[in-house]
Each structure stands twice: as C-alpha cells, then as structure tokens.
Amino acid sequence: MASLVCPCARGGDLWGEFWWVGGEYKWVFFDDDNTSETFTEQITHCQACGRPLDRKTLKATSAFVRHQ
C-alpha cells in the first residue's frame, strides 16, 4: 500500500495498492480523504482536477504529514 496525492495538490489523499487484475499486475487507487463522499471507494481520476490516476505521476506522501 502507498499513500499518494495528485500533483495538482488540490485533491484529497489517496492510497494505492498493486493488484493482480485480468492476468497482470496494476495499480488500483482508493479515496483516503475521510471528509469525501467517496471515502474508501476505488477511484480512477483526481476528484479536483479530473486527471487520470497513474502511479508514475502521483506523489508519495507521509502517513502523518501531507506535503504540498
């Protein structure tokens, strides 16, 4: 599991997990912002900017402090 944030820094916190899906491994992302309507649900786009979520473009965050 990885704690992540979109580079726009306007979206909520995310977490990503590396899952075996359809015969291959892929990153799956979830809303980790406990004030959001989609908290703990799987998401595919940043809720602030609409950018598709991709592990190569997301930034890692500390579990304790969100860096901007």
- Model pTM above 0.85: no
pLDDT tens per residue across span 19-60: 999 999 999 999 998 888 999 999 999 999 999 999 999 988
Distance CA 63, CA 61 (A): 6
Domain boundaries, the chain: 2-60
Identity of residue 44? T
Q: What is the mean pLDDT of residues 7-11?
A: 88
Strand partners, 15: 3, 30
User: Sorting pLDDT into bands at 50, 70 and 90, what band is 63?
Assistant: low
Report the pLDDT value the prediction gives residue 19, as an integer from 0 to 100: 94
